[in-house]
Amino acid sequence: MDDVDQSERREADQAPALACHHSTPSFGTDADPAHLRHLVIVGHPAPGSFNHALAAAYCDAVQATGQAAVLRDLYVAGFDPLLRADERPETPEFRLSPDVVEELAQVERASAIVLVYPIWFGMPPAVITGYVDRVLGAGFSARQIRAGEDNPLLTGKQLVLLTTSGSTLPWLAERGQWHGLREAFDFYLESIFSFANCEHEHFESIVSPLLPSYAAECLGRAADRARATCSVLLSEAHKREKRAKLSS
């Protein structure tokens, strides 16, 4: 498990609540880097975890490019991962809970969704799967998934996963866990939610004490992943801007 103590943190800002989450993603056509927003979701219970350090490194690299990064610590926010019966779109009494509406406001404004979490017992933590259930999947029914419909909130956005494990990647692969995670989480979420792409950066052997040189290497990789995502977002923004000019 990931228990390396790190002190670097970021505060999550707040956004106005969405009146309705079924809206067209607000990418816009402006290629100004400041309008490109990365929503970084951290799902680790220890405030000084290495997951938090990875998230901070990602955010710092994003901000250095001139793009915007917002960190949401699900534990600090007291996010409830339990999906309520009336939050399921198939039910006649369907409604969005206020905390979900607040999270959806952040998602709507983002061009990239970044999930940062440890792999425990071969799975993401409950708070991350709960975030998928209650936020990313809010109002998106099984019927729509079976029909191959695009998710109106997430279509075209980038999905980035930064994960850690105390074990090595070969160890996870030998037990089928790595392949299972990639198929059941990465590729599946990319497909059903209509993300433009899913990039997964995994950091293995994250145990205490962690060699400073290895910690620095991992943080550098998180920063590299951030810069690569920034490049993709800026390129796509320029393409949208060009198409808008040609059609005007």
pLDDT digits (tens, 9 = 90+) for 10-27: 333 333 333 333 344 445
pLDDT-derived band of residue 53, with 50, 70 and 90 as boundaries? very high
Mean pLDDT of 231-235: 96
pTM of the full structure = 0.86
Q: How far apart are CA 57 and CA 12, in angstroms?
A: 15
Q: Which residues contact 176 (CB under 8 A, 6 or more apart)?
A: none
pLDDT digits (tens, 9 = 90+) for 75-115: 999 999 999 999 999 888 999 999 999 999 999 999 999 99
72 φ, ψ (degrees, to nearest 5): -120, 110
What is the side-by-side order of every strand in the sheet holding 158-164? 68-73, 37-42, 112-118, 158-164, 197-203
Top-confidence residue, 15 or 123: 123
